[in-house]
Amino acid sequence: MLKVGITGQNGFVGSHLINTLGLFPDQFQTVSFARGYFDNSDQLDHFVSSCDVIIHLAALNRHGDPDEIYSKNTGLVNKLVESLERTGSKPHVLISSSTQESMGNVYGDSKKHARESLASWAERSKALFTGLIIPNVFGPFGEPNYNSFIATFCHKIARNEKPSIHVDAEVELIYVNELVNTILELIRTKTSDPEFNIPFTSRAKVTSILKLLNNFKDLYQEKGEIPSFNSKFELNLFNTFRCYMEIESYFPRKFTQHVDPRGAFVEIIRLGIGGQVSFSTTVPGITRGNHFHTRKIERFAVLKGKALIQLRKIGTSEVFNFDLNGTEPSYVDMPIWYTHNIKNVGEEELLTVFWINEHYDPKDPDTFFVEV
């Protein structure tokens, strides 16, 4: 089992790495890190000497004072190198750099300097080192106005605000789950490369991305329809968008009932894609679920009885509670990386319809069991 420490573990990529490492408890054990360790040599030395692998992500983003960005990003790496040398530790070190390295700006220069400093340490120490040159990263839970323009667009559009485009460039992108999987594979294969270029997985113009996001808002946020996807990128973009919606005020969504003397008719879901539909009955007091998905789209629709649906984002403690009642049929969709369950809190049998966008594959279930 490898002991993995991540500087910047609470950041955008770092939190995804921490959560994904937790899916492989037989392969990885995380070593806790706090930003204050950089200001305390004893704590930093203890951290460094405890790790088989160190992934250095801590840095100032390119949005900020240029002098501070450069001094901070190079200063953090200098402290890390000093600790590695003091302790004589030789973990496999990986650092996140950026395609900004070649653009001649302060942020890119700071990342290049930091990468080269660690490469020099690795050469002197005969240690494994991987310098990751990473394209633009997008995905759920990025900080708007900081991590990426996609995070900013999603945040604004979900709140009925209008994003602005400064330059309509064609952008090379990688989804955060794809980046994390690549990093884990480099760790598993002990890849040592001072300048490892991680390939982008999609390319799109800024205006095209904005158009897709506005379409998601219209179809999904306004009408409850799951749109069609022409590529894996569009699915990843959709899963990103819906994580910026304010779910505590958005769900549950009531269905439209068409009532006549025969009874009632309710449309459960309108789809631009396929998937799998199932239903369950649940006796009073029983809870189903307590799992999460990293890519799947899922809808729970209560048709009869009383249910409590609970959601909790992995890595957080806040629980969202949604009360649903078959007398007013309604649904809740499950965001990725949210563990969720459904409990019969009534006195009669609960009838629930489930839709998910993938057929169940026992070899790749994308279902991880964690209590809400």
Give the CATH number for residue 15: 3.40.50.720
Query: Which pair of structure tokens corresponds to residue 88?
Result: 């004589």
Inter-residue contact 238 to 194 (CB < 8 Å): no
Amino acid at 194: P
Average pLDDT score over residue span 273-285: 94
Are residues 149 and 276 located together in one domain of the fold?
no
Q: What is the mean pLDDT of residues 273-299?
A: 95
pLDDT at 64 over 70: no
Q: pLDDT (tens digit, 9 = 90+) per residue, 226-244?
A: 999 999 999 999 999 999 9
Both 186 and 65 in one domain: the answer is yes
172 & 276 share domain: no
Mean pLDDT across the stretch 259-284? 90
β-bridge partners, 304: 351
Please report whether residue 216 resides in a domain: no
E-only strand ranges, 39-159 = 53-56, 92-98, 129-134, 136-138
Q: Is the pLDDT of residue 29 over 80?
A: yes
**pLDDT at residue 331 above 90?**
yes
Question: What pLDDT is recorded for position 122?
Answer: 98
pLDDT value for 63: 64
Confidence bin at 260 (pLDDT 50/70/90): confident
Please, are residues 246 and 161 in contact by the beta-carbon 8 Å criterion?
Answer: no
Structural domain that includes position 131: 2-208
In one letter, which amino acid is 257?
Q
Q: What is the pLDDT of residue 247?
A: 95
Contact of 72 with 63, CB cutoff 8 Å: no
pLDDT reported for residue 66: 78
Residues 111-126 have pLDDT tens digits of: 999 999 999 999 999 9
Mean pLDDT of 198-213: 97
Pair (123, 50) in one structural domain: yes
Same domain, 164 and 30: yes
198 and 258 in a single domain? The answer is no
Decide if pLDDT at 52 tops 70: yes
Q: Is the bond preceding 252 in cis, omega lying within 30 degrees of 0? A: yes
The whole-angstrom separation of Cα 194 and Cα 289 is: 44
Is 215 inside a domain boundary?
A: no
Give the helix ranges, DSSP H, for 88-138.
106-125
Asked whether residue 142 falls in the same domain as residue 272, the answer is: no
Q: Which two tokens stand for residue 206?
A: 């800024």
Q: What is the mean pLDDT of residues 124-140?
A: 97
Residue 357 DSSP class: S
3-state secondary structure of 205: strand
Check which CATH number belongs to the domain holding 324 and give it: 2.60.120.10
**Residue 260 placed within a domain:** yes
State mean pLDDT over 43-62. 94
Residue ending a domain, choose from 208, 235, 261: 208
Of 208, 231, 265, the residue at which a domain comes to its end is 208
Count how many domains the chain has: 2
pLDDT at residue number 49: 98
Domain assignment present for residue 238? The answer is no
In our burial notation (b when 16+ CB lie closer than 10 A, e otherwise), range 327-342 reads: eebbbbbbbbbbbbbb
The distance of Cα 268 from the centroid of its chain, to the nearest Å, equals 28
Specify whether the CB–CB gap between 53 and 96 falls below 8 A.
Answer: no
Same domain, 12 and 147: yes
Any domain includes 225: no
- Among 148, 178, 208, residue at a domain's last position: 208
| Distance (Å, whole) CA 50 – CA 91 | 9
Residues 168 and 302 in one domain: no
Residue 62: what pLDDT? 65
User: CA-CA distance, 294 to 185, in Å (whole number)?
Assistant: 18
Q: Is the pLDDT of residue 105 over 90?
A: no
List of residues 6+ apart from 187 with CB closer than 8 A: 2, 4, 53, 92, 94
- Is residue 228 situated within a structural domain? no
Model pTM score: 0.94
Q: Which amino acid is at 253?
A: R
Type of residue numbered 290: N
* Token pair in block for residue 125: 């120490």
Residues 20 and 140 in one domain: yes
| Contact of 95 with 114, CB cutoff 8 Å | yes
Percent of the chain with pLDDT over 70: 99
- Whether residues 181 and 255 share a domain: the answer is no
| pLDDT at residue number 162 | 95
User: 146-187: per-residue pLDDT in tens?
Assistant: 999 999 999 999 999 999 998 899 999 999 999 999 999 999
35, 97: one domain: yes
Q: Is 25 a domain residue?
A: yes
Residue 226 lies in a domain: no
Q: Is the pLDDT of residue 56 over 90?
A: yes
Q: Which residue has the tokens 């309108």?
A: 270
